[in-house]
Structure 1
Amino acid sequence: MQHRPNVIPRPFWSQLPPAAGAAVMATGIVSVGLHLTGYAVLSGILLVLAAALWVLLAADFALRLLRDRSRWRHEADSPPALTAVAATCVLGTRFSLLDWQGLSETLLVIAVLAWPGLLLVVVRHWTPRMPGAVFLACVATQGLAVLGATLSAGLGVEWLGYAAVVVFWFGIVMYVAAFTRFDLRQVFTGAGDHWVAGGALAISALAAAKLVLAGRAGDLWNSDVTGVLRGMCGVLLALDVAWYVVLAVAEVLRPRFTYDVRRWSTVFPMGMTAVAMLSVATAVEASWLKGPGQVLLWIAVAVWLGTAVGAVTSTERVRSSARARGRSGKRVRSGERGRSRERVRSRERR
């Protein structure tokens, strides 16, 4: 009788696609928003969750690189691979707000090392009519600008601010390039990542606000540069809000309630829009933006909770299905062993 080797089930986190990195981005940015509005305990809880998931995904990323190089190359070619850079920058920004600058610097170095290679590979595989994940090229780039500007202000390092402003403008170019490849039908047909079309503008507005604040802290810019950056804060935020309205209306007209891992890419733009609005309010001294920013933050928290419930339910469903298949397989193997023993006894009687 042929014996089948026992198959050791892989942990659920090792089977997650690159798009799962958006869960770290979403959780991290909502944590930033709660920190900015004074909800330290809730912010801390979400930070722990985001950091734990980042560690799991980073470990899986490294293991795939070492043990499953073909799968790693295939996934590195896709736009969601850039969530690795964006998630690292979001976490670094959050840690910087806690004044853990050494850890933030380490995360910046990791993001800077990963960014150019992933960006080049992803952009080379762009095609016409792509989903919203195409805008992750902008999000990852602006994530570097946000973290660089934040550390420039926190550490008083001028060159980080100068580097961040260059990266910021490159991020704007990446947004325009991505928009030419975006399939606008995704607004009504996308599974969640179509929201990144607006989220990329939100993180760009946040980067502009952080650059204004970095310039104020370190006297980096003259009045002309400061004026341009302040103007970009307003323009980018207005465009982001316009996208937010369009996307929200599309969700009402064509509801999509089934859980999909790409729904984390809906939570992230919602949270990022709230954080951008709160940060721009400080950067351009427009306190009236803080009220709408807080409203949008709590909407993002509600959507985060709904998506988290969907993720847990989906994971449990997959596990239950795997257990059922395992029990079914055991019954089949048990039946085969029984029939084999019966055949042996029959031959012995003959």
Structure 2
Amino acid sequence: MNYKIKSLLAIFLIVGNYCVAQSNDQIVEDFESSSVNQPGHVYPMVNSEGRVRTQVFAPDAKYVKLDIGGVKYDMVKDAEGMWTGESAPQDVGFHYYQLNIDGASVPDPGTLLYFGACRWGSGIEIPSDDQNIFAVKDVPHGHVHEILFPSESTKTCRTAFVYTPPGYENQTSKSYPVLYLQHGYCENETSWPAQGKANLIMDNLIAEGKAKPFIIVMTYGMTNDIEFGKLREFDIIPFQTVLVDELVSYVDENYRTLSNQENRAMAGLSMGSMETKAITTNRPDVFSHIGLFSGALYAPEEVKEQSNVKLIFQSCGSKERPEAVQKSTEALKEAGINAVWYVSEGTAHEFHTWRRSLHEFAQLLFK
């Protein structure tokens, strides 16, 4: 190899190492363990930029990637077989993610498990300035009950989670309004209690005097399989039967509810908003308050005959389609319908958008 080639290679190596060093220097090294880690696990970690750093011991693996937000990031193995890598900055809030080890997608063993993306898998919490809305505070707390209710239409016993507000067990002469709250596609009845922190949001709002105490019911919104991208083919009637004809009656019989349309609400995120719109349109005699988070929107002609609708709330993240939400809601208001719109700043199609949406929606219910 002649002198000129050697010199060029040396320059390339120096420049390459300099670029790597510059890249590493740009990462703020203030990582802290995630708030949703398994007990005793240091990784994954999150820094002030919202980057996620994780580790996994896989000495025989040929490659490992961190897969978050639809983007895969290469991880690097040390001499002992420990792989380490980090993501680009993420939006604040909760995100599903996984590790890809030699082509196999698996949960990160360092995190708690959540049902989302059609699987039980890892989750990460990127701290936000307003995470106090679901913080565990020294306030009276309600309870989340897992119930089994009979479903004659599906010939099964189905699961739901029921939140009862603080004091429900002691105030035995008091009855409460009810919100039926639906998850999104590839999620289930555990999603709002776990990822959504619905109970903690309500506990804090009630303690602050910002929301009336009410019951929340969360159940699985699928009665038949539907492929991603074909939600328009979803037949709402089977689930509508489960929710309206079976679950509502079960809840009214087993909990102290105000069992009339005026004191009953329905809301949902993404696919759940589609279900909410369809069911409340088909059965306006059942629900009076409606919440559509990051999904379906109402046109005035779709509700102009429903004079008993008390509220329509529509929301999304600022990285989704806020203009459409605002336009739809303003049209409803011009038609004389009590409608409110809300945009979650700095978030997209993700649970922090929906936590914030519930936080805003709950303050308007049953007033």
- Give the TM-score category using the shorter length: under 0.3
Provide the TM-score with structure 2 as the length reference.
0.26
Structure with more contact order per residue of length (Cα contacts < 8 Å, sep ≥ 6): 1
More strand per residue: 1 or 2?
Answer: 2
Provide the TM-score with structure 1 as the length reference.
0.27
More helix per residue: 1 or 2?
Answer: 1
